[in-house]
Amino acid sequence: MGICDAVAVAKILNATLVIPHLEVNPVWQDSSSFMDIFDVDHFIDTLKDDVSIVKELPDEFTWSTREYYASAIRDTRIKTAPVHASANWYMENVLPVLQSFGIAAIAPFSHRLTFDNLPTDIQHLRCKVNFKALIFVPHIRALGDALVNRLRYPADQNEELGSNYLREVNDTKDQKRPGKFVALHLRFDKDMAAHSACDFGGGKAEKLALAKYRQAVWQGRVLNSRFTDEELRNQGRCPLTPEEIGLLLAALGFNNNTRLYLASHKVYGGEARLSTLRRMFPLMKGKKSLASAEERAQIEGKASLLAAVDYYVSMHSDIFISASPGNMHNAMVGHRTYLNLKTIRPNMALLGPLFLNKSLSWEEFQQAVVEGHRNRRGLLKLRKPKQSIYTYPAPDCMCHV
């Protein structure tokens, strides 16, 4: 949630914030800008009484940009911001640069502001940014509303998907009672599988391919690769496979009448890997099955926009569950906690050993799952020291807890 921290730091320094450039993820290779994803006018207007924000760097400061300095060595760039830096650190190290040059660029900036020992008004501002100021651009919200509508009011299988989905959302709601659906964030793509260093049953060829991919992307910086698969699973470090998340859902009482929304980009192993999950939950839908190619044209091939649609639909689901911890999981847990919506947090440390134990009967497995998730189905958790305010918004962001 770097943008929320950026607003907070601008407030601490009494500085104007320039809408930041987003880094291109080496895996997804998506160059979408902040303005491609979020409604910038709403963002600026919501925060106008807190922080001054501009869309672009004023012309008088072009001399300070990376493009101006071919070597990228700039007196105005600060590269030494420690992880979870204090407010005092910014006052002592960034404010003098601002006072000398009128501008400062902090990069890298991810996770560069502490979650503790900050003034209450700064914490409240971070909450305001995350839960009020950040909304998606109109076409993301419109498509998201259409998908939610089709999940709640499922059409006949042979009906064509309409292109005028704004009218469709309004018309359909008057016809029948809305159904419920569960959003499943299945983070089981190639980079997650490789980064986990777990064994997913593909034999030596799969292990070699994932090890090669892991080395190419992270150059040996994946600590999990030092452990055996059994050790990783016993520690709860392996993402749940589509088959495992299906068993978890079934053990928790969901059945083949449950309507699932699959929030996922590219599943490692493709459609074949989803076949068991789809047989267990035949009403499972995703972006491609709910929206036409024409409707998806603006987001196709853009990982950030695809994820934005998934996030929007998941925020409107009756229940959200994620197959593994990660950025989307953490953001969704926090946002849904803030809005008092139900979220199931898989007990990874419990599930790993359970799936390794091949001698368990279904009744024993189900009993263990239900018992192990009794306090992980929507129970409000207060933030502890060092924990993210965006994942655990109570009590900082919530007046009544």
SS3 348: helix
* Residue 158: C-alpha distances to residues 155, 161, 180, 256 (Å): 8, 9, 21, 21
Identify which of 245, 238, 242, 307 has the alpha carbon closest to the alpha carbon of residue 272.
242
Question: In this structure, which amino acid lies at residue 88?
Answer: N
Tell if the pTM clears 0.85, that is, is over it. yes
Alpha-carbon 387 to chain mean position = 17
Query: Residue holding tokens 């299945």?
Result: 186
Question: What is the model's pLDDT at position 56?
Answer: 93
Task: Provide the strand spans (E) within 186-325.
Answer: 260-263, 319-322
SS3 284: coil
Query: Residue holding tokens 């990982």?
Result: 303
Question: What is the model's pLDDT at position 20?
Answer: 86
Contact 310, 291 (CB under 8 A): no
CA 242, 247, 253, 258 torsion: positive or negative?
positive
Question: What is the model's pLDDT at position 296?
Answer: 96
Which residues are CB-neighbours of 324 under 8 A, at least 6 positions away? 187, 188, 192, 239, 240, 346, 348
Question: What is the model's pLDDT at position 73?
Answer: 62
Question: What is the model's pLDDT at position 52?
Answer: 98
Contact 46, 74 (CB under 8 A): no
Identify which of 238, 298, 291, 239 has the alpha carbon closest to the alpha carbon of residue 261.
291
Query: Residue holding tokens 């959200």?
Result: 320
Identify which of 95, 120, 183, 127 has the alpha carbon closest to the alpha carbon of residue 7.
127
Give first-to-last CA distance, the chain, whole Å.
23
Calpha distance 350→94 (Å, rounded): 45
Residue 391: Cβ-neighbour burial (10 angstroms; 0-12, 13-18, 19+): buried
Calpha distance 148→142 (Å, rounded): 10
SS3 331: helix
SS3 36: helix
Question: What is the model's pLDDT at position 71?
Answer: 54
Alpha-carbon 64 to chain mean position = 32
Which residues are CB-neighbours of 356 under 8 A, at least 6 positions away? 230, 233, 234
CA 42, 45, 49, 50 torsion: positive or negative?
positive
Beta bridge partners of 45: none
The crossing angle, in degrees rounded to 10, of helices 242-251 and 270-280 is: 10
Residues of the chain with pLDDT under 50: 157-163, 165-167, 401
Contact 178, 152 (CB under 8 A): yes
